[in-house]
Amino acid sequence: MTTSPASPAPTGSSAPVGPVDSSRIPRYAGPATFARLPRLDQVAKTDVAVVGIPFDSGVSYRPGARFGGNAIREASRLLRPYNPAQDASPFALAQVADAGDIAANPFNINEAVETIEAAADDLLETGARLMTLGGDHTIALPLLRSMAKKHGPVALLHFDAHLDTWDTYFGAEYTHGTPFRRAVEEGILDTSALSHVGTRGPLYGKQDLTDDEKMGFGIVTSADVMRRGVDEISQQLRERVGDRPLYISIDIDVLDPAHAPGTGTPEAGGLTSRELLAILRGLSTCNLISADLVEVAPAYDHAEITSVAASHTAYELTTIMTRQIAASRT
C-alpha cells in the first residue's frame, strides 16, 4: 500500500503545508480530505479550517445533505493549487486544513444546534476562519452565533433559491427554512448589510416578501443576475456590505437544477455555476470572515455535477480568505 502525506514545507520553513503532490500520487488516490489537504491534527496552526457538518434533520423535502460534505471532498480531488481566476495559490498563502466533521445529534435539532455552535466556537478560538460544508441550512444559525461572538453582528450575503426567513415549519423554530429569521431576531446580523442572491420560484404568499424586507434583507433574484450581469451585481453587493465583517452562506440550490441536480429543494431558473463563481470572485475585496456551503445531496446527483460545482465554489471562497490573510501579514 502506497500513501503520501501532504506536500511538506521545506526544513525549517514556516511555509504552509499544502496538498498531496499529484505528480507523485494521482488525484484519485491519497487522502480523502478537502483538496487532499492535511488534516487539522497534522499542522501546527490553521488559518482556514474546512469542516463538515453532516446534519440534515432540518430539511422540509428531500433528505440526504448529511452526505454532502464527503461528496464535496471527493469531488475536490480535481482541484489544483493555483487559482488563475484570482491569480493566487491559496494553499501557499495561508495554512488550510481539513478539520473533519462536527458530529451532531440527528434526532434532536435543538441539541444539534448547540453542539454545532460549541464546536464552531472552539475552531474560531484557534484564530481560524471556517469554510463549512453542510449539511442542511439549519447549520447556518449556530455558525452565525459563533461569528457574532467574535465579530459582533455581521453582514450576510445569502445565496439561495429560497429566502430561509420563514417563521416555523410544523411549529419548529429551527429548520433549514428559518435560520436567518432567527438570526435577525437574536441580533447577530447587521441588518443594514443583508442580501439574498439568486432567489426565485413560488412562495407561500406575498407576506413572505414583506416580512423579509422588514428584517432588512435586499433581494437580487436570479433574473436580476441574467439581465444586469455579474459585474454590476457584484458591485451592488460590495457597496451593500462595505468593509463590515462578512459571512457568506451558499445553498447549492442557488444554481439551476441543470448545474446542481443533487439538492433537496430544486427550483427552475437558477444561476449557472459560471455566474456564481464570477460573482464570488467579484467579492474578493470584501472582509470575508467565514463561509458555509450547504444542501448538497449526492443521492440526487448525476456524474458528480453538484459536488464538482460545490467544490469549486468552496475553493473560490477559500482563495478569498487566504488572500486576505496573506495581505494582513504584509
Chain-centre distance for alpha carbon 62: 20
Nearest to 197 by CA among 230, 229, 161: 161
Residue for grid cell 435539532: 109
Phi-psi region of 185 (alpha: psi -120 to 50; beta: other; left: phi over 0): alpha
Domain that residue 74 falls in: 34-328
Q: What CATH number corresponds to the domain at position 321?
A: 3.40.800.10
List helix spans (H) across the chain: 68-75, 90-93, 109-125, 140-151, 179-185, 207-214, 222-228, 230-241, 273-281, 305-328
Contacts of 246 (CB under 8 A, 6+ apart): 154, 155, 156, 157, 193, 283, 286, 287, 288, 289
Cα 54 to its chain centre, rounded Å, is 14
Angle at the Cα of 264 (from 260 to 268), degrees rounded to 5? 55
Task: Write the pLDDT tens digit of every residue in 230-248.
Answer: 999 999 999 999 999 999 9
pLDDT at 5 over 90: no
Q: How confident is the model at residue 330 (pLDDT cuts 50, 70, 90)?
A: confident
Kindly state whether residue 22 falls inside one of the protein's structural domains: no
201: phi > 0 → left, psi -120 to 50 → alpha, else beta; which?
A: left
> pLDDT over 90 for what percent of the chain?
95
Q: What is the pLDDT of residues 75-114, one digit of tens each?
A: 999 999 999 999 999 999 999 999 999 999 999 999 999 9
Q: Is 4 among the domain residues?
A: no
What is the tens place of the pLDDT at every residue in 127-141? Answer: 999 999 999 999 999
How confident is residue 8, by pLDDT bands cut at 50, 70 and 90? low
**Per the domain annotation, does 178 fall within a domain?**
yes
Per-residue model confidence as pLDDT tens digits over 21-68 = 999 999 999 989 999 999 999 999 999 999 999 999 999 999 999 999
Q: SS3 of 217, please?
A: strand
Mean pLDDT of 119-134: 98
Number of domains in the chain: 1
User: Could you give the CA distance from residue 244 to residue 131 in angstroms, rounded to a whole number?
Assistant: 18
Tell me if residue 100 falls in helix, strand or coil. Answer: strand
